[in-house]
């Protein structure tokens, strides 16, 4: 029976930690814009710079 109380206490503590982490993230604006980061990784950056490997080959 003591194992049940121990497991229940640990699980409630862990759930509280995750809840506080989620609330902190929402207050800091982590979930404000979900679409842009996914689209940003698909767009290539054309900044005019060449890679170091391209400069060595020329």
Asked whether the predicted pLDDT for residue 56 surpasses 70, the reply is: no
The pTM (predicted TM-score) of the whole model is 0.55
What pLDDT, on a 0 to 100 scale, did the predictor assign at position 7?
A: 98
CA distances from 33 to 17, 39, 57 (A): 24, 11, 41
The one-character DSSP state at 16 is H
What pLDDT, on a 0 to 100 scale, did the predictor assign at position 20?
A: 98
Q: How many CB atoms lie within 10 A of CB 19?
A: 10
Return the domain boundaries, the chain.
2-43
Distance of CA 57 to the CA centre of its chain: 38
- Identify the CA nearest to 35 among candidates 46, 45, 43, 24: 43
For residues 12 and 20, what is the distance between their CA atoms, to the nearest angstrom?
12
Instruction: Give the tens place of pLDDT for each residue, 8-48.
Output: 999 999 999 999 999 999 999 888 877 787 787 788 777 66
Q: What is the mean pLDDT of residues 47-57?
A: 59
């Amino acid at each position: 029976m003591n194992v049940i109380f121990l497991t229940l206490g640990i699980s409630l503590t862990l759930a509280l930690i995750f809840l506080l982490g989620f609330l902190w993230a929402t207050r800091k604006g982590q979930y404000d814009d979900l679409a842009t980061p996914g689209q940003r990784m698909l767009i290539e950056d054309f900044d005019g710079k060449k890679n170091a490997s391209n400069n060595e080959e020329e």
